[in-house]
Structure 1
Amino acid sequence: MATVPASGVTLLEALPQPTSGDARQATRQSYVGSFTELTVDVYGVSDLQRDILTDGEGKFSFPLVGTLEGAGKSPTQLAAEIEDRLRGRFVRDPQVTVNFKATSAATHLLSQAVTVDGQVQRPGQYPLVGRATLMRAVSLAGGLTELAKRDEVLVFRKVDNRQYVGIYNLEAIRRGNYADPEIFPNDVVIVGDSPQRRLFEDIIKAATLLSTPLIVLTNLTNNN
């Protein structure tokens, strides 16, 4: 561990894993993902009661509404979106409920999300079920944009009420220079240039991310 003078940060050897206490404190929100079983009910309209299975990208179709992007959204968010699309044109005052089917509810209650932002195709929140890595998280968000700055990717993580930031080079990971780091629920991944990245610009310039990631303990606030 080393402290960088006048920078407000401490450099570490590795990004720590969340503790059981962090897991208990995390918001226990369930999110829709790939091949998720849902029940959708529009109150008072029997023809609009459906069992739904999302596709491999978390999308599904619903009568009169069309295709919805379900991945990374909660059932409550999806219900509000369906109501907005039905309101006025098809149903005067729609009341929609969306729930996980009982057969898959237990799995999704354990599913929490990673936030992926910056220069990716589909920024947003994506559910994590099982083990996931940084490269996998970027893939969930549709991969990088054409102009993505892939050599400085930030991972924000809070452990024991302390804010940590890991700064990685995706090309170095692809080459096998160092391991693809594991990603945990409630992590925030930011790809490319951003206000958050510029906070660490002086430290990044002095680092060689091709051979090792840069891990920082900081008191700075992450507003994502």
Structure 2
Amino acid sequence: MRKLMILLALSTALSACSSSQLGGTDSVSDIKVVASDILPEPTRLDLFEQNRPYLIGPFDKLTIDVFGIEELSKQEVQTDAGGRISFPLAGIIEAAGKTPGELEEEIEGRLRGQYVRDPQVTVNLKETVSQVITIDGQVREPGLYPVIGKMTLMRAVAVAKGTAEFAKLDDVVIFRTVNGQKMAALYNLKSIRRGIYNDPEVFANDVVVVGDSQARRLFKDVLQAAPALLTPLIYILQTN
């Protein structure tokens, strides 16, 4: 009965903020609370987002060419578990988290002058095992990060160097597309740390927003309506 009353209160609060902006782009016309405390996993099609820049991750296979230098052309390399590669004359390079273009610039910088007058490097992705998530809000280093193996919300925050000093740990939102439907879930990092509920898994193309941000303000009325919730809240976002 208590959960039903909370859901009714949340539905009222959510309808009041239906004209808010999600991430400054999508206009939300209808928000529905789901009677579940588990955010569904994305489908295989949901995991492949064509508009996201690709970030190199551990165990990716790359082809690297240095124009005009046969010994440095068509070099096939694979990043190690830490996302590093070894390239002739350039040494060990931290490739994880870089785009292919950024890695090209890194190699050119190491070769320029001492070994090659004006190096022109091309990096192509041959095979990948990693995809990316977005971590935003009150973390020390917001940005795009590779998803390697099974990653949870707590691990994702740790990858972004942890939360900021005054971050709102009880206001953490995961945005996800499930079978083409945009969804969101509200979590409390304090509750996860205390073992009140499980640390949820995050997937490629998820957007994690920690604490106060433009995207999280969509749910400010929810937090006011039920500030003491001890389970995650799952929403379906209907967009125009």
TM-score (norm 1): 0.74
Deviation at residue 30 of structure 1 after TM alignment: 5.1
1:146 alignment partner, SS class: coil
Aligned length: 212
Contact 1:162/1:218 (CA < 8 Å) preserved in 2?
Answer: yes
Once the two structures are TM-superposed, the CA of residue 89 in structure 1 deviates from its matched residue by: 6.4
Give the whole-Å Cα distance in 2 for the aligned partners of 1:128 and 1:69. Answer: 17
Comparing 207-216 with 87-96, greater Cα deviation is found at 87-96
Q: Distance in 2 between matches of 1:204 and 1:169?
A: 11
Q: Does 1:26 align with 2:49?
A: yes
Distance 1:120 1:208 in 2: 22
Match of 2:154 in 1: 135
Q: Which residue of 1 aligns with 2:225?
A: 206
Identical aligned pairs, as a percentage?
47
CA contact (8 A) 1:177 1:210 kept: no
Distance (whole Å) between structure 1 residues aligned to residue 234 and residue 85 of structure 2: 39
| Alpha-carbon shift at residue 154 of structure 1 (Å) | 1.2
SS of the equivalent of 2:158 reads helix
Asked if 2 retains the 8 angstrom alpha-carbon contact of 1:154 and 1:190, the reply is yes
The separation in 2 between residues aligned to 1:127 and 1:20, in whole angstroms, is 17
Whether the 8 Å contact between 1:172 and 1:210 is mirrored in structure 2 is no
Q: What residue in structure 2 maps to residue 154 of structure 1?
A: 173
Residue 123 of structure 1: aligned partner: 142
Pick aligned residue for 1:17 from 41, 44, 48: 41
Q: For 2:91 and 2:138, how far apart are their aligned partners in 1? A: 28
Q: With structure 2 as the length reference, what TM-score do the two structures score?
A: 0.70
Pairwise CA RMSD of aligned residues? 3.4
Q: 1:9-48: per-residue Cα shift (whole Å, max 9, x none)?
A: 111123222123323x533975323465655433235686
Aligned pairs for 1:61-72 within 5 A: 70-72=95-97
- Closer, same or farther: CA 92–200 of 1 in aligned 2, 3 Å: farther
Give the unaligned 5+ runs of structure 1. none
Distance in 2 separating the partners of 1:211 and 1:78? 44
Higher radius of gyration, 1 or 2: 2
Match of 1:98 in 2: 123
Structure 1: which amino acid aligns with 2:32? T
Q: Residues 73 and 125 of structure 1 are in contact (CA less than 8 Å); yes or no, is this contact kept in structure 2?
A: no
Query: CA contact under 8 A between 2:57 and 2:79: conserved in structure 1?
Result: no
The residue identity in structure 2 corresponding to 1:196 is: A
SS at match of 1:137: helix
Higher relative contact order (CA 8 A, sep 6+): 2
- Residue 6 (structure 1) shift: 3.4
